[in-house]
Every structure is written in C-alpha cells, then in structure tokens.
Amino acid sequence: MLVDSYKIEEILPCLADPEKIRVIASLSDDASEVMPYINSIIKNAIYIKSANAITIPQGEKLITIHPRKIAITRVDDEKEAKKILDEMLKLINDTYEKRNDIEPNYERREKPKVMDIYKLLPQNNCRKCGELTCLAFAVKITEGKASILRCSKLFQAEFSRKRAQILELLQKAGFEIPSAFR
Amino acid sequence: MKVTRHIYLDYNATTPLCSEVANVLDRCNRLIFANPSSPYEIAKKTRLEIEKARDQVAKLINCDKNEIYFTSGGTESNNLAIKGYLDYLRNLLYKQSIMARNKRANLHLITSQIEHLSILNVFRYIEKNYKDNYQCMVSYLPVDGSGFVDKGEFRSAIGKDTVLISIMLANNEIGSIQPIEELVKIAKSLNENIIFHCDAVQGLGKMEIDVKKLGVDLLSLSSHKIHGPKGVGALYVRNGVKLFPILHGGHQEKGLRPGTENVCSIIAFGYACEIVRKNLKRNIDIMAKLKEFLKEKLIEELSGMVDLRINSPDKKCLPNTLNVCFNGVDSELLISYLSREGIYVSSGSACTSGLIEPSHVLLAMGIEPELAKNAIRFSLGVENTERDLEEVVKKIKEIIVKNKLN
Ligand SMILES: Cc1ncc(COP(=O)(O)O)c(C=O)c1O
Ligand code: SF4
C-alpha cells in the first residue's frame, strides 16, 4: 500500500459553479511515485511531471492528485466527495501494487509540439525571456518549466493575434494559463 | 477545534472598519436619509456631507475636490477610467473623421502583466470587442525579477498610436511600487496627448500619494483597503480630461457616475481618508517594523527546514506586504491548516480548476510555475503585534513538521 488514508481538509464553494463544492483532502503519504503509472492506464489524464500532479477529468468534474493532496471540483456534496476519494485511494493503491506490470508514462498526453509553439513565437531571439533562443524557450514551455508570460515580445500589441493562438494551444493541452490572459 | 484568538494577516484583501468610521457609518445610517438630489432643506445636509467627503478624499491625494468622482470601488473606477476614456476618444475620432475622411485608426494601449484583474480583464474585453474602425491593441509590459516595469521596455513600447497607459502604483500580491512619476514623464515627453491612468488602490494608506507629483491623469481608489466600508471608492479625473460615463442615467457626479449616491458609505470613506491623512507616517513606520520582524523570524525559524524565497522586493515595496515561497510546501494546504488555527493569510493565486493556478504576478516575475504554487502573501495592518507574528511563525513551523508538508 502506498497511501494509507485521506482526510478531508476543506470544503469550499466551487468558483466555476456556485451550486457545487470543491473539496481538498490531504493524503497520509506521498503519492508522487504512482502518478506516471496512473498516467499510463487512465487515457484522458493530464499528467504534469514538473508540477508533480495528475488531473483526471470525470464528467464535468476535475480530480487532481498532488503529492500530498487530492482536489476535486464541481462536487455535489460531501457524500459524493467521499465516494470519489475512496475510488482514488483504491486507484492509487491498486496501481501501485500492479506497477511492475505497467509501463510508466512520464509524458503529458497531447503534449504540444515544440515546433508548433516555436512557429507562433516572435522568432527574433531577443533573449528577454532569459533563454538564448526562441526555440529554447519553446522547449521550456512544453516542459512546463517556464510561463509564456516571460516572452515579453509576444505581449506587445503587434503580436496580439499570435498571442491568442499560442494561449489557446497551451490551454487545450492542459497548461495553466493565468485566467487574466485567457 | 476551538479557536480562541484570530490573527488577520490579509489586509491587502480587505481591512476591518475602524471604530471611528464605524461610528460615522452608524450615525449616517440613522440620521441621514434624504436624497441629495431632492429640493428641500434636509437634502441639503446630505449634499453638504457628500461634499465634505469629497474634500477629505481630495486632500489625501492632493487634488481639487471637483476632480474626485465617487464610484462603487476600485473595480468600477478602473473600468470607468479605461472604458470611459476610450469611448470618449473613439467618439471624438469618429466626429473628426467625418470631416477628414480618414476613417480608420489603430489605438494602442499599454498596461503591465502584473495588474489586478479589474484592469487586465478590462483590457482583454476591449481587445476582443473594440474592433471597429478604431481597433484597440494592447501591450502587456513585462516586469523584472523583483516585479518592476522596465523603463527601457516602457519607453520602447510607446508609439505614435499610443493613446492610453494604465500602470498600477503598488502591486497587491508582492507590494512592488512602480516609478509612476518617471513613467508619466517618459510617456508625456514622447507624446503629450497620452492619458495616464494609475490603479492606486493598494497604495492608499500605505504610502504618500500626491497626484500632482505623480502627474497622472486618472487614478483609482477604494475605501475598503483603508478601514472604510466596502462597495465605495473614487476616481480622480484631472481637470481637463474628458470621459464618457459607462453607466447612463441621471446627473449625479456630474453625469459621469449616475445613480443615487451611496451616501453613508461615501461619508464614511471620507472619514477614513481623513484618519489616514493624520496617521500616515506613523502607520507606515509601524507596518514596516512589523514586516521586518516577520521576515527575520521566518528566516530565523524556518530556513533550516524549507527553502524560503522572498518574492517581495527589499526596496520600493509596500511597508505591509511580504510574499514568500515555501519551496515544496503546498500553499493551499498550509493556508487551510493556518485558518484552523485562526490565522488568516492568502496565496494571491486563484483556483479556477482542480489545479491551483499559480499567480500571474509571480509567473510574470519569472518564478517557475511549480514554485509559484508555494507562495504565501502576508499583508499586515497596524493592529498586528510582534507577538502575533511570533505565534504565526511558530504555527507555520509546527504545521509543516506535523503534516510533513516540506
Ligand atoms: C490593485 C487593486 N486594484 C483594484 C482592486 C479592486 O478594488 P475593489 O475591491 O474596491 O473593487 C483591488 C482589490 O483587491 C486591488 O488590489
Ligand atoms: S522573449 Fe520571446 S522573442 Fe525573445 S527570445 Fe524569448 S521567446 Fe524569443
């Protein structure tokens, strides 16, 4: 067994839908190890290696397993939350038991291609993002290690169309785009 | 769990009413009810009280009282400043174009990546919807690793189409104070017709604000950040600057903000400004000392356990704001545990999906997305004490150890 138990820490109103709740539960043990295996068996999961988190969409709900917590959005009530958390605990532990038979997957599914991002960048290697080239920056972006906000050229007015395209591409791939720029 | 004592360290989110202001509010609610627009004698009293409040706000930021317009708060002031000016300008250009036949123009607007949502979302709206002959294009200026707008970037962003610039005075999450006075000078030297708006909501009560010195054309204020009531604020509009209203109705606030005035809140806001003006220097000193104390304690007690990264700049920072990343410690969990101990802090990041969203301010500063999720914002008030802060640091330490958060 990898994770012994969970404890519901917080029940909050769901910002996306005021009729629903958002639940945060802490985990008694670290679940990081099992994430690449879950990523392998759950086909629509979004695994972000650098953030050490895996999000599993379930209908309109989003369940995110972090190393020491699980967050669930758009839950009806505490009872439903408990049911989901029990399932998740089982998923974590079952997957852990079977890990030797599973090929771990460290990749984000639907990972945007470096070239697709590069094509939309200003491509003048101005280094303002802290990288030597736009290409190097595109790599960091796909790895989730840099925020698109750091390309200051892209946020100039003349690039507004490309900016919108890149933000859309990243958002579709499950990257976190600050809501102010979505 | 029974919490016996509350320690509030989230003054940038909002502040409690101070007792003098609460008394004023109470008195107004009971005694002043006449509509200030009514023709009879008791309405005159209401009018006079509102004008007194206008004067109190004006004195605090060193402007003429007829340059102050009351609104429902910082958000509305920001919307009114930006949309109100663009609507005015687009109308003016349209009228001129009928004679001149050049019916198209691009309007270039400048803001920064670290503004409050009540600025960024206005610009996003304008970018998406103001697409006629006077299409609006926005530049979102980057900031450096300490959260300051780069003056070189700023200068080079300004072009012949630039009509409006909006840069905040002080940032709500990290506290960095922008060199507004210099930015205004640069902007106006390149193009004197540029209108400069400044969101000063977080600066009020924590630093001196003198609109004459700053040189800005428009400036937003909010009452609830200075121990005044919520839902009231003001926009400073320099004499000579023209805006269209964004709400349409009667003649109140010279037609710029129609609707029967939020009388009692306006009066209480005026009082809050008066109190700030009397105590500003003293308050800044108290807050700065408390912040220094907190910072030292955090470093002293925690640096062996977790990597601390102080995100707030050392200099040119609000005296009450300290943003810290506890590397590897999930800030959502830490906040939740602290709140059960009666300690209230914030992360500055909003949660919109299952993932906590790292703050756009920290991302803009170049902090890695993962680390940005470990940020805690402490924002202090003069009511806090060193004992409180000692207690907070002790609890943070306990929580991290007990729950193995690091
Ligand atoms: C920098 C800044 N601008 C604007 C606002 C919005 O002010 P209000 O809450 O009065 O609408 C806030 C409040 O959080 C703020 O911090
Ligand atoms: S800031 Fe943007 S344009 Fe400049 S090198 Fe980086 S990615 Fe390229």
Beta-bridge partners for A55? A46, A64
Q: Which ligand sits closest to the CA of B222?
A: 1
State the average pLDDT for chain B.
Answer: 93
Query: Residue B101 region, left (φ>0) first, then alpha (ψ -120 to 50), else beta?
Result: left
| Cβ of A2 less than 6 Å from ligand 2 | no
Residues 143-162 of A with CB under 8 A from B: 144-147, 149-150, 152, 155-158, 160
Distance from the alpha carbon of residue B161 to the mean position of ligand 1, in angstroms:
29
pTM of the model: 0.89
- CA–CA min distance B73, chain A (Å): 20
Q: Which residue has the higher pLDDT, A14 or A117?
A: A117
Taking each helix axis from N to C end, the angle separating B41-61 and B263-302, rounded to the nearest 10 degrees, works out to 30
Rounded CA-CA distance B36/A3 in Å is 65
Please give the ipTM for the structure prediction.
Answer: 0.82
Of A52, A130, A157, the CB nearest to B366: A130
Angle at A180 between CA A155 and CA B71, to 5 degrees: 115
**CATH number belonging to domain A6-101:** 3.30.310
Residues for chain B: how many in total?
A: 406
Chain A residues within 8 A of B360 when measuring between CB atoms: 149, 178-181
Q: A23 with B359: CB under 8 angstroms?
A: no
Mutation choice for ligand 1 from B14, B112, B116, CB with most ligand atoms inside 8 A: B116
Tens of pLDDT, residue by residue over B343-359, are 999 986 554 444 557 89
Would the pLDDT of A131 be above 80?
A: yes
The predicted pLDDT at position A110 comes to 66
Helix (H, G, I), strand (E, B) or coil at B243: coil
Give residue B5's pLDDT band: very low, low, confident or very high (50, 70, 90).
Answer: confident
Q: How far apart are CA B331 and CA B347, in angstroms?
A: 7
Out of B336, B352, B403, name the one closest to residue A10 (CB).
B336
For the Cβ of A126 lying below 6 angstroms from any atom of ligand 2, the answer is yes
Pick from B123, B352, B406 the residue to mutate for testing the A interface (most A CBs within 10 Å).
B352
- Compare CB distances from A24 to B336, B352, B363 and report the shortest one's residue: B336
The closest CB to that of B370, out of A24, A50, A150, belongs to: A50
Ligand 1: distance of its center to the CA of B119 in Å?
A: 9
Identify all chain B residues contacting A69, using CB atoms and an 8 Å cutoff: 330, 332-333
Ligand 1 atom with the smallest distance to the CA of B233 is 10
Is the torsion defined by CA of B295, B296, B301, B305 positive or negative?
A: positive
Distance CA A24, CA A11 (A): 7
Q: How does residue B395 score in pLDDT terms, banded at 50, 70 and 90?
A: very high
Element (H, E) at B310: strand B308-310
Do the Cβ atoms of B365 and B174 come closer than 8 Å? yes
B263-302 vs B19-31: helix crossing angle, rounded to 10: 160
C-alpha to C-alpha distance for B278 and B282, rounded to whole angstroms: 9
In this structure, are residues A177 and A165 in contact, taking their beta carbons and an 8 Å threshold?
no
Mutate to test the interface with B, among A150, A152, A177 (most CBs of B within 10 A): A152
Nearest alpha carbon to residue B36 among B9, B1, B70: B70
Decide if A66 and B330 are in contact by the 8 Å CB cutoff. yes
The pLDDT, as a whole number, for residue B352 is 45
Six-digit token string for B355: 């993932």
- Test A68 with B140 for CB contact under 8 angstroms: no
Q: Which segment of A143-147, A175-179, B145-149, B382-386 scores lowest on mean pLDDT?
A: A175-179
For residue range B114-131, what is the model confidence (pLDDT) as tens digits? 999 999 999 999 999 998
* Pairing label, strands A69-75, B68-71: unpaired
* Closest to B81 (Cα-Cα) out of B198, B163, B183: B198
Distance CA B320, CA B318 (A): 6
> pLDDT tens digits, residue range B170-207?
999 999 999 999 999 999 999 999 999 999 999 999 99
CA distance B217 to B230: 25
Q: Tell whether ligand 1 has an atom less than 6 A from the beta carbon of residue B112.
A: no
**Atom 6, ligand 2: residue with shortest CA distance:** A129
DSSP H helices in A63-144 = 78-97, 114-120, 134-142
- pLDDT (0 to 100) of residue B120: 96
CA angle, A108 then A14 then A144, to 5° = 20
Regarding predicted confidence, which is higher, B83 or A49? Answer: B83
Give the three-state DSSP class for B196.
strand
Give the residue carrying structure tokens 């299952």: B354
Q: What is the pLDDT of residues B51-80, one digit of tens each?
A: 999 999 999 999 999 999 999 999 999 999
Ligand closest to B153 (CA) is 2
Active site residue B351: yes
B283 to chain A, closest Cα gap in Å:
33
Q: B180: number of CA atoms within 13 Å, CB side?
A: 28
Q: How far are the Cα atoms of A90, A157, B62, B340, B353 from residue A23, in angstroms, in the given order?
A: 18, 40, 48, 16, 12
Residue showing tokens 């892209």: A154
The residues, ordered by sequence, that sit 6+ positions from B99 with a Cβ below 8 Å of its Cβ are: none
Q: Is B229 in the pocket of ligand 1 (CB under 6 A)?
A: no
The tokens for A140 are 């960091």
User: Is residue B365 helix, strand or coil?
Assistant: coil
Q: How far is the CA of A131 from the centre of ligand 2 (A)?
A: 7
**Nearest-angstrom CA–CA distance, B320 and B10:** 10
Do A129 and A151 form a contact (C-beta atoms < 8 A)?
Answer: yes
Ligand 1 neighbourhood includes B73 CB (under 6 angstroms):
yes
Q: Does A49 touch chain B (CB under 8 A)?
A: no
User: How high is the pLDDT of residue A53?
Assistant: 87
pLDDT at A109: 65
Instruction: Please give the structure tokens belonging to residue B17.
Output: 């009413």
CA distance B231 to B211: 23
Is the beta carbon of A72 within 6 A of some atom in ligand 2? Answer: no
Give me B360's structure tokens. 């756009």
Q: How confident is the model at residue B158 (pLDDT cuts 50, 70, 90)?
A: very high
Q: Which of B112, B178, B222, B346 to mutate to test the pocket of ligand 1 (most atoms within 8 A of CB)?
A: B222
CATH 3.30.310 intervals, chain A: 6-101
Backbone φ and ψ of A64, nearest 5°: -120, 125
A180 touches chain B (CB under 8 A): yes
Interface test mutation site (partner A, options B353, B401, B402, B403, max chain A beta carbons within 10 A): B353
- Confidence bin at B133 (pLDDT 50/70/90): confident
Interchain contact A58–B (C-beta under 8 A): no
Q: Is A64's CB within 8 Å of B405's CB?
A: no
- Whether B285 and B293 have beta carbons less than 8 Å apart is answered as no
The architecture of the domain spanning A114-181 is Orthogonal Bundle (1.10)
Q: How far is CA B184 from CA B106, B151, B167, B286, in A?
A: 22, 11, 10, 30
Q: Which amino acid is at A107?
A: E
First to last CA, chain B: 24
Name, in order, each residue with C-beta under 8 angstroms of B181's C-beta and a sequence gap of 6 or more. Answer: B213, B214, B215
Pick from B74, B54, B88: nearest CA to B240: B88
Pocket lining: B75 vs ligand 1, CB cutoff 6 Å: yes
Residues of chain A with CATH 1.10.15.40: 114-181
Arithmetic mean of pLDDT over chain A = 88
DSSP element (H, E) containing B183? helix B180-190
CB-based contact B111:B119 (threshold 8 Å): yes
Q: Are A70 and A6 in contact (CB under 8 A)?
A: yes
Contacts of B354 in chain A (CB under 8 A): 55, 62-64, 71-73
**Is ligand 2 within 6 A of the CB of residue A153?**
yes
Token pair belonging to B259? 């609707």
In this predicted structure, the answer to whether residue B25 has a pLDDT above a threshold of 50 is yes
Is the C-beta atom of B168 inside 6 A of ligand 1? yes
